[in-house]
Chains A and B, each alone.
Chain A
Amino acid sequence: MNWLASDAAMVRKLVVKDWQVYRKQLAGYVAGLLFALGLVGMGSPLLSAAGGLLLLVLLIVVGTFAIGSLIMAERKEQTQPFVMSLPVTPMDVFWGKLLANLAIYLVPFLLVTGGMLALILGTPSPDGAVPWVLLIALFVLVNFVVSLCVAIAVDSDGWNAFAMLALMTLIGPFIYWVTWMDGIREHLQGDVIVWSPQVLWLIGGELAVIGIAILAAGWVHARKTSFL
């Protein structure tokens, strides 16, 4: 079983191809993110709350649409047979899809997460919320990576849609759960950033899920001797 790509230059071309295909949608999302940040920057509580919610929604939607248009739609539109005609191995395609989607998603993700952390650290709002924001942002990233890996590994549209919806519905309960968790709740309104054991375990868990999802999807692809 070979986990490595056979041709790094070809993987790069596949990443650039996906970037070009998704360029318009990404531009739309970047505009949407700036609009949402602009709402937050207007300063009124109502507009700030609307902007914050819009940021979260866009962050979820940008990932869902990337997976939908770069992986699932390609299967329907018969782009895969074209890719099969190229001198690439299944692992080249795996790394190409993984890196392209991660690159596309990490642009808005880092923009939003960095902006939220800067907002907390740079304003008089309590700095104790930093671990809470980081946990939620990482959870959204976990959702994206797991959805992506399922889409790469599983051909069924039904299972992919189920995985995405199931993961999305977990976001609300997760936010509620970490907000009331001991080791997080008592520090939320404080001025000190506390990396309690609960926070560190959760961050470790989230990173582990990301790693496991990538390894599992890679394992499925590495076992393939052909695309079919």
Chain B
Amino acid sequence: MQSGERIHSMDNLRALAMLAGVVFHAALAYSPLMHPIWPAADAGRSVVVDALAWFLHMFRMPLFFVVAGYFAALLVARRGMAGLFRNRCARVLLPLLLFLPLVVASMEWLTAHAAATVAHPSPALAWIRSYIDAHGALPSMPGWAHLWFLFYLLLFTVLVWVASALELRRIGAWIASLPPLALALATPVLLAPALAGTGVPWPAPEFFVPSLWALAFFGAYFALGYQAFQRGDLLDRLRPLSPLLLGGAIAAYAALFWLTDGFANARTASSSQHLLHALLEACAGFWMILWCLLAGRRWLDRRSAAMRWLADASYWTYLVHLPLLFAIQYRLLDLPLHWMAKFALSTAVTLALSFASYQLLVRHTPIGRLLNGKRAIPQSPRDVAKAA
């Protein structure tokens, strides 16, 4: 591999994690669990959606943070701490500042328009309609919307510097050097207290002040990715556990889904039950992520023009997908179609519009350079790691 060449497995995993977000957000409109609170919630809903979508939720964003941690370590090795900060300012802070107002404004406009025009509104949309009638404006909902992950990425960049200054590297290295089975069993136990500090399933930490549980939970995954770069043998040592990890993740999630009656009883659980639910969430998510990393190495670690294009398009797609999705799903609320047709239609049209806009408006423009950077000079990450 040439110096500077992309790490295909991680690039592709990041792309898939981000694109899975489109599917997940599209599914929320047909989720019984989200029906009372999701503005685009459709009358047609199925427990199947909850079973599948929330499983995706258990590992989708944590996986993204593992990949982000991996690339942060790569950047520090290649360009140093100052280089990491410069890169994060250009690729994360600037897009956040540019796109957040646009995303929030467009979603508010779409929601206000839907509240005024949809004949069969969701419970949340009906409430928003009555709120607008009473107050003349939408309720104030400050936060990062679905771009919260960019905010947390910035915080973790600061924490990379903190960990470096305090020389905490040895702690991560010690945890990463644990025997594979011990690592796979102990980490969910360490993650469970963070998840116990919030609801089940864990909500998106969209509030613009960071939440402690989210800092600890996603921070641990970011640190895992950082260690995965620094200790190239970490995933190799876990490889024999691959089938167990997949089976364990599915079993833990199934137990969680069954114990909470499809998450319907999660809010009324006792403290000990809540802790057990958090532990099962942590097991399902962590084991699934390890399996994804191993599967990524096995099946996605190769050059592919299509995957490369998807990897480049995924950032833009994730930034713009939610307003597009809302625009489509608000229109679908009044159509007499089966929920599966609406789900498929909204997902496909959102992805098609996002990809088309990326190719036509972004890829070869300054926005594309802002999001994905210039084409890198090839360089091997393993060589860089050795040099570091």
Contacts and interface: CB of A to CB of B under 8 A. Distances in A.
B209 A35 contact: no
Contact of B165 (A23, A47, A122, A124): A23
Interface stretch (B121-129, B153-161, B281-289): B153-161
Interface string A12-28: 00000000000110111
Contacts of A41: 205, 207, 209-212, 214
Contacts of B159: 31, 34
Chain A interface main SS type = helix
Given A23-B165, A27-B166, A34-B155, A115 B140 contact: no
A23 B161 CA distance: 10
Contact of A118 (B140, B162, B208, B211): B208
Interface string A66-102: 0000000000000000000000000000000000000
Interface string B133-165: 000000010100000000000010011011011
B239 to A, nearest CB: 34
Nearest to B205: A41
A30 B162 contact: yes
Contact of A34 (B140, B158, B207): B158
Interface string A45-82: 00100000000000000000000000000000000000
Contact of B162 (A27, A37, A39, A43): A27
Interface residues of A, number: 23
Contacts, number: 58
B215 interface: yes
B210 A38 contact: yes
Contacts of A123: 140, 142
Contacts of B165: 23-24, 26-27
Contact of B209 (A23, A28, A30, A115): A115
A31 B140 CA distance: 30
A40 B205 CA distance: 13
A61 to B, nearest CB: 17
Contacts of B263: none
A119 interface: yes
Nearest to B164: A27
20 contacts: A23-B165, A26-B165, A27-B161, A27-B162, A27-B166, A28-B162, A30-B161, A31-B159, A34-B210, A35-B212, A37-B209, A38-B211, A41-B211, A41-B212, A42-B197, A42-B211, A42-B212, A119-B209, A123-B142, A124-B140
Give 10 closest A-B pairs by Cβ, nearest first: A38-B212, A27-B165, A122-B142, A41-B209, A41-B211, A27-B162, A31-B162, A38-B215, A41-B210, A23-B165
Interface of B: 140, 142, 155, 158-159, 161-162, 164-166, 197, 205, 207-216
Interface of A: 23-24, 26-28, 30-31, 34-35, 37-43, 47, 115, 118-119, 122-124
